[in-house]
Amino acid sequence: MQKITLGAGCFWCVEAIYKELIGVEKVEPGYSGGKIANPTYREVCSGLTGHAEVIQLEYDESVIDFKEILEVFFKTHDPTTLNRQGADVGTQYRSAIFYHNENQKEVAEKVISELENSSVFDKPVVTEVTEFTVFYPAEEYHKNYYKNNPEEGYCQMVVRPKVEKFKKVFEEKLK
């Protein structure tokens, strides 16, 4: 099993997507990339801790490789908006890849370069590629948030459309 830590906006959205992907065995929302230990959701939302909302996932490389993980990552959020995903604004919503080994770093940098050279996006990719240091799990009520709160407004208006789009685009990669 391999681990990767990804920030792509609100972790409720990212968790809901990756939980549906074949080869992904575990997905946990949390915080990474900041300057204080054991931050709370309220502290991270203040924008003062430097943490990003992330998901840490474990995946089986014999089923799905890292490049495929990144394909989902880049097609399910906007990697060209600095510190923002839709109406969610702040450094905690930045696009980030916290790599766990040199191979992940190399693949991430290569994929970003390919995206830039192919002009897939109208603007430059601002996704940070940073060495993983520490992951702090989110509070219990954030785990499986979309599954546990499907009728909540944010889930209806933001999470559900992202998950539905993901399922259409990656139909062959669903569990």
Domain ranges of the chain: 2-173
pLDDT reported for residue 119: 84
For the segment(s) 2-173, the CATH number from 3.30.1060.10, 3.40.190.10, 3.30.470.20, 3.40.1080.10 is 3.30.1060.10
pLDDT reported for residue 65: 95
Residue 23, both tokens: 């080869």
Judge whether residue 136 has pLDDT over 90: yes
pLDDT reported for residue 42: 96
Judge whether residue 135 has pLDDT over 90: yes
pLDDT reported for residue 87: 86
pLDDT reported for residue 109: 98
Contacts 24+ apart (CB under 8 A), 104-113: 104/4, 104/66, 105/129, 105/131, 107/66, 107/67, 107/70, 108/70, 111/67, 111/70, 111/71, 111/74
Mean pLDDT (whole number) for 9-21: 97
Q: If you average pLDDT over every residue of the chain, what do you get?
A: 96
Judge whether residue 163 has pLDDT over 90: yes
Which of 10, 13, 45, 155 is the catalytic position?
10
Residues 56-100 pLDDT 10s: 999 999 999 999 999 999 999 999 999 999 889 999 999 999 999
pLDDT reported for residue 77: 95
pLDDT reported for residue 171: 96
Residue 109, both tokens: 């940098």
Neighbours of 128 (CB within 10 A): 15
Does the active-site annotation cover 155? no
